[in-house]
Amino acid sequence: MCLAATVASCEQRPTLPPLPQALTLWSGIAPAFTRDLIGRFNQAIPGIQIRLQTTPGGVVVVSALDRGEGDLGLTQSDALYLAYRRGIEGNRYPHRNLRGIAVLWFSQYYVVVRRDSPATRVEDLRGKRVGVIPRGTSGEFSMRILLGAHNMDYTDVEPWFHSTNALMPLLARGEIDAALVVYPGVPPALIATNKTTPLRLIPVTRSVTNRLRSEYPFLRPVVIAPDQLAGQVGEVETVGADWLLVCRSQLSESLVYDLTRQLFEDLPALAEKYYEARAIDPYQAAAAPIPLHPGAARYYREREILR
């Protein structure tokens, strides 16, 4: 009797649903877009629960994913390429556990001074107070690359590390002489400050861009049109880099396929809300500077974006 009761009790015990697979997405940029995207992933893809881990920037992201401390991340192509090939910052070894999911938007390098500044070249900033976005970000990494292309580093300037939103008022008040920032499109803080304190962009010339591309081939030249910043006279040459959604290589093919598919299914709705999403070109999304994850590659092949 006791055995029969025990068996009956076991048979009646409900089966608990499996716990969702816990994933972490590391990002230090586009917080509203990133949170919305994570929410859409969690709602649409069964069996996963992604949480956001905020970081100082993309340099931290690549090493965290390579070590298995995260599963997904947003980072910039120059930092990603260097990390995968040779290593980066304090982790000087090839980050071969990284894989691409999708190229997202393109961010441009901006060298900004007050319009009344005598500086017309990056070299003119030697000995000056130069605002730079915070250490550990892909953008700050990019600015060191930019200074290096002009045979300069932080010992040649007086660096002030602040966010883009904080740098523009400092520049307007004359507390710094220039600001080096990276942003997808002209930063809103730059546009707002320019209305009260006229600003000017210093070019990154094509010859400098060509030197940069010999080491960082996924940097791209770009021209900032006069109408992008009120009062700008003529086109201004600069350079930029793509931002990407990346992952660690150990994620399953089916999961990454579902993530890639969901990203592009939700892209029209995301583009209605976020400038960054409007800049994503599905037909360029497979052009990652590192190998694509097999799940992402399968998605692009099915849609004849990748052959």
Report the predicted TM-score, pTM, of the whole model to 2 decimal places. 0.86
Q: Within 13 A of 239's CA, how many CA atoms are on the CB side?
A: 25
Give percent above pLDDT 90 in the chain. Answer: 73
Structure tokens that stand for 242 in this block: 């793509």
Digit-coded pLDDT (tens) for 248-284: 999 999 999 999 999 999 999 999 999 899 999 999 9
- Per the CB < 8 A criterion, the answer to whether 220 and 240 are in contact is yes
Digit-coded pLDDT (tens) for 11-54: 556 666 677 899 999 998 889 999 999 999 999 999 999 999 99
Average pLDDT of the segment spanning 215-230: 90
Q: How confident is the model at residue 58 (pLDDT cuts 50, 70, 90)?
A: confident
Digit-coded pLDDT (tens) for 107-125: 999 999 999 999 999 999 9
User: Does residue 127 register a pLDDT over 70?
Assistant: yes
Q: How confident is the model at residue 4 (pLDDT cuts 50, 70, 90)?
A: low
User: Does residue 129 register a pLDDT over 80?
Assistant: yes
Average pLDDT of the segment spanning 227-250: 94
More confident site: 56 or 275 = 275
Strand locations in the chain, DSSP E? 21-27, 48-54, 72-76, 98-114, 129-132, 158-161, 178-183, 199-202, 220-224, 236-248
The domains located in the chain, with CATH, are 21-104+244-302 (3.40.190.10), 107-241 (3.40.190.10)
Give the per-residue pLDDT at 304: 86
Cα 137 from chain centroid? 9
Q: Which residue, 107, 109, 186, 178, is CA-closest to 149?
A: 109
User: Does residue 9 register a pLDDT over 80?
Assistant: no
- Per the CB < 8 A criterion, the answer to whether 65 and 202 are in contact is no
User: Does residue 131 register a pLDDT over 70?
Assistant: yes
User: Does residue 75 register a pLDDT over 90?
Assistant: yes
Digit-coded pLDDT (tens) for 174-191: 999 999 999 888 899 999
First-to-last C-alpha distance (Å) of the chain = 66
